[in-house]
Amino acid sequence: MTLRFAAGVVVLLLALLVFWLWTPDRDRASLETVYLRAPTDLLQIAGQRLHVRDSGPRNAPAIVMVHGFGSSLHTWEGWARELSKTHRVVRFDLPGSALSDPDPSGDYSDARTVVLMLALMDQLGIAKADVVGHSIGGRIAWTFAARHPERVERLVLLSPDGFAGPDAGYGKPPEVPFALHLMRFVLPKPLLRVNLEPAYANPAVMDDALATQYHDLMLAPGSRKALLARMQQAVLLDPLPLLARIQAPTLLLWGEKDAFIPVSNADRFVRALPRCTLVTLPGMGHVPQEEAEAAALALVREFLLP
């Protein structure tokens, strides 16, 4: 009787803990009130509704920007504001991220995202663009450049993903830890903030306003399920044959204090890319476009301007 009572108490305490930490999706309308600039920024692209920001002169050279995992087009806010003075800047939320709807096909592979990027450029009338990608967005960017070299003028990669780690391999789905599956139901802001802070060499960059933005947009309807699907479908291919096909001049930026994808990976990209310039960033972590916006942007602007 005592053991049964004790077990009941444990179950009750666990239930109360889950109830206390349970984090439901946010209402889409309330998120759009804060994070949607205009209803016209929601575009139907190849059967997928994407949140797209298109700024700068329409007849200027175009830049397409691809964010990383768990992020959004807002990561490029400072860069887009400055680059829009000389370029047409297009940035978008990946399917199932932030204000872009989950993909109705359920396909979150890189191949599907490359198809959507191509369709987006076609719909916006952009024949060729400079492409900028960060982290997994970097992997998508260089894959796009390899598959569609005729559509890419120059390539900027910030801490790109693509090479398998020592305990992983190519051609097979990754193992997603069970704890990550729990984020579909439990994702309080303090927990998310603790997990995001290591992305910055200076954790103070992750202030309450930035943590709130990341948290709000990860709670968009269906977003967490889509993020997990993207992780599960990230079947890496041997990058060397694809990277060798990229002829676009490439700027590779890497924070020397990157705790997510180590700067030691940069040498592998340099050896594989035919026309690559590497610049390592002292004192910067995984997200230089947020952590040291002006310093990193100066390098990008110099590379992109003719």
Residue 183: pLDDT above 80? yes
The structure tokens listed for 135 are 């982290």
**Rounded-to-integer distance, Cα 135 and Cα 133, Å:** 7
What's the pLDDT score for residue 232? 92
Average pLDDT over residues 220-245: 94
Q: Say which residue, 250 or 236, is predicted with more confidence.
A: 250
pLDDT in tens, 75-127: 999 999 999 999 999 999 999 999 999 999 999 999 999 999 999 999 999 99
Helix, strand, coil share (%) of the chain residues, nearest 5: 50, 15, 35
The structure tokens listed for 208 are 């309450």
What's the pLDDT score for residue 208? 96
pLDDT classification of 5: cutoffs 50, 70, 90: very low
pLDDT classification of 72: cutoffs 50, 70, 90: very high
What's the pLDDT score for residue 75? 98
Please count the other Cβ atoms lying within 10 Å of the Cβ belonging to residue 173.
Answer: 11
Average pLDDT over residues 243-270: 97
Q: What does pTM read for this prediction?
A: 0.92
**Rounded-to-integer distance, Cα 250 and Cα 129, Å:** 13
pLDDT classification of 20: cutoffs 50, 70, 90: low
Query: What DSSP character marks residue 139?
Result: H
What's the pLDDT score for residue 18? 54
What's the pLDDT score for residue 172? 86
Is 218 in contact with 88 (CB distance < 8 Å)?
no
**Rounded-to-integer distance, Cα 114 and Cα 258, Å:** 26
DSSP bridge pairs for 196 = none
Distances (CA, A) of 211 to 52, 113, 136, 189, 260: 22, 26, 20, 7, 18
Q: Strand 250-255 and strand 152-158: pairing?
A: parallel
Residue 8: pLDDT above 70? no
Q: E strands along 147-249, which residues?
A: 152-158
Residue 16: pLDDT above 50? no
Residue 3: pLDDT above 60? no
Domains of the chain: 23-163+173-304 (3.40.50.1820)
**Average pLDDT, rounded, for the chain:** 91
Residue 7: pLDDT above 70? no
pLDDT in tens, 259-302: 999 999 999 999 999 999 999 999 999 999 999 999 999 999 99
Nearest Cα neighbor of 141 from 252, 53, 39, 32 is 252
Average pLDDT over residues 184-188: 89
Nearest Cα neighbor of 287 from 224, 231, 213 is 213
84-104 residues labelled b (16+ CB within 10 A) or e (exposed): beebbbbbbbbbbbbbbbbbe
Average pLDDT over residues 46-71: 97
